[in-house]
Each structure stands twice: as C-alpha cells, then as structure tokens.
Amino acid sequence: MEFKITHSSGDCRARAGIIKTPHGSFETPVFMPVGTQGTVKAMSPEDLSDADASIILANTYHLYLRPGAHLIRRLGGLHRFMNWKGAILTDSGGFQVYSLARLREISERGVVFQSHIDGSKHLIGPEEAIDIQEALGADIVMAFDECTPYPADYDYVLKSVGLTSLWARRCMDHRKREDQALFGIVQGGMYKDLREKSATELVAMNFDGYALGGLSVGEDAVTRQRVIDDVIDFLPVNAPVYLMGVGKPEDLVEAVRRGVDMFDCVMPTRNARNGTLFTTIGRLNIKNARYAEDDRPIDERCNCYTCVNYSRAYLRHLFMAKEILAYRLNSIHNISYYCSLMSRMRSAIKDNNFDHFYSEFYELKQNRIDQEEVRG
C-alpha cells in the first residue's frame, strides 16, 4: 500500500490524498460501506460502484464463523467470492468479540468466546486474526485489539492498552503477506495520557496506518472530538488515519477537519432499511405521511440512481408496503450521499476552502430546522 497526501487545507488539519492497493487506488478522505458478511446489505457490487464506493469493509469475526475463512481462500479470496473489484479492508474481529460474543475470557493468548450463532467455543488471538485476514485476502488488515467498554476506570484501560500493544507486536511478527497493509489500532478510552501511550507504542512498531478504536461506544460528540484531537498529534503525518465505526455525517465532517482520512459505519445502510434517508439539508423519514403525494426526489441536489428515477411518494409506498425494493433504493441513496459528502470534502480541501464548506454544511441543515419551525 502507498499513501500520498496531495493537498492540505490551509485553515484546518483536513487533507486529501491517494491510497494505492493491489485492487486499485482510491482518494481520501473516504467512506467505506460496511459489508459485514461479504455483502453490503441490499446492494450489489454494481450498485456500490455506481454509488462511487471505492473500498468496502468486511468483518473478520463474521466471515470466520460463517462460511469460514479457509473456504473463502479455496474459492479465490474475498474479492472473487463476492465479485468486488475494488479494495477491501477487514477489521480484526476485536470489536465483535467485545460486542456480540458470549462468555468472553480474555488473556494474553487472546480471547476465548462462544459464537453468537450456535454457542460453539472459539479462540481468536493476534496470530489467528492475522491468519484469518490473510486467508480472506483483503488489501488492508487490522491488528487484533481489545476494545474497552465505556465508561471504564483508569486501571482497566491502562491494562487494556498494554494488552493491545502486546497483541499489535505479535500481529506484526506473525504477518506473512507483503501485499496487505497492516494498521494498528489506538486504544486508551477517554484518557489523554493513555491514548498518547497507545499511539506512541504503536508508532514505534511502524504500522502502515493507524486506526482510532474504542469510540462510538456511548461517549458524546464533544468527548469524541477531543480524543481525536489528542491522538492526531502523536501519529505520523505520512500515514493514513482511520476512525472506526463513527458515521453520522456531522461526525465525518468534524473528523475530516481534524485530519482523519478513512471512515466506516453501518449507519447509512441500517438507517435506509429503517426508512431514514440522508440529504444535504438533514434527515428525511420516508414513513412520514407528508410524503405520500410528494413527487420530488429524496434530495434535489443528488444525482444517484434513486433520486434520478423515483419520487418520495413512490419510495414511501414501497416502504409502507414492505417491498424489498425499498431497502435497495434507500440504501443506494444513502451510500451515494455518504460518498458524495466525502467527494465534496475532498474538493473543498483541494480548493483550499474547507472552512467555507464546513460553514455551508451546517447552514443548510439549520435553514431546514428554521423552515420547519415556521411551518410549525
């Protein structure tokens, strides 16, 4: 993997760049749709390409349990298995073990857990996490880490940081494939000194990139932004920074402003399946009766397949009738919105007017709030 910064904002830490992988290049900042089980829910690979997605995320934990990493390797790797031509990032499985698995037992060796599918017992440690990700064949893989809960006391988080650093070193030592980039994951909870300790120890190992983990676990936005500011100072300028699992549009804008390059979140597709659609002026709940006869597209500024071809009235009809097409069309729009948002931020950085973009982003949403209050 190669990462090159092409433009830096003159008024904040935002930067634009290019990452080259064995499955093509993509520009940063970038949003990665989440294909947990080898598919972005309700979307085909062609839908994703048309929405301007250039890299997707797949999940080590889920693919290990079903259908199995070795099966995927025998069938030509994850790219061929799911017919995705672009880049893929796989996470290490640490967050899913933390959030889904039952009866976890954590030790230096790794994590023994029971599958959320059938209750079977498994062990994933740093060596297993690397073996699974090398079998899947992603372009970017993640070091195994412990995702600390929130809130957590200082002593627990200190011990967790030590374990994450130990596992990161073992991931580095165990890796065999030179065609995969390996990112370390900075932990440390909401404690500035522990975030510094984690970042400093990982940087000394010379990872290809660095992720900010342990966020979007219940903390407020101000705390999250403070943690990002704290960590960015200790990461190398010439390596990509990935904010894991954070996904509201305003969160992405705030993080790009602080120097983050890569994002993933299930929010756009999950919300699409629940009838919540993202627009340049805020969220739209397609279930609302006000859209029953509305002939306009979801977002008049959007040129995605859904907005070009279908009205709010039709999309509401599909959703209320529980038609499968509703989930696909809604997901196409939301992923297109997220990719377009990243594209607009890249353009603003290149044009050295990110502050203008930032102000306009919030003004458009505020104007809608003001209009709705007037309508009363």
Task: Give the sign of the dihedral formed by CA 28, CA 33, CA 38, CA 40.
Answer: negative
CA angle 176, 70, 65 (to 5 degrees): 110
Instruction: Compute, in degrees rounded to 10, the torsion defined by CA atoms 231, 236, 238, 240.
Output: -40
Unique residue bearing structure tokens 């980039």: 181
Catalytic choice (47, 139, 261, 264): 264
Cβ pair 29, 16 in contact under 8 A? yes
* 212 CB neighbour count, 10 Å cutoff: 28
Active-site choice (91, 131, 261, 299):
91
- Catalytic, 11? Answer no
288: left (phi over 0), alpha (psi -120 to 50) or beta: beta
- Of 185, 181, 228, give the one whose Cα is nearest residue 208: 181
Whether 351 is a known active-site residue: answer no
C-alpha R_g of the chain: 21
- Distances in Å between the Cα of 259 and the Cα atoms of 8, 57, 253, 285, 334 are 9, 21, 10, 32, 24
By annotation, the residues acting in catalysis are: 91, 264
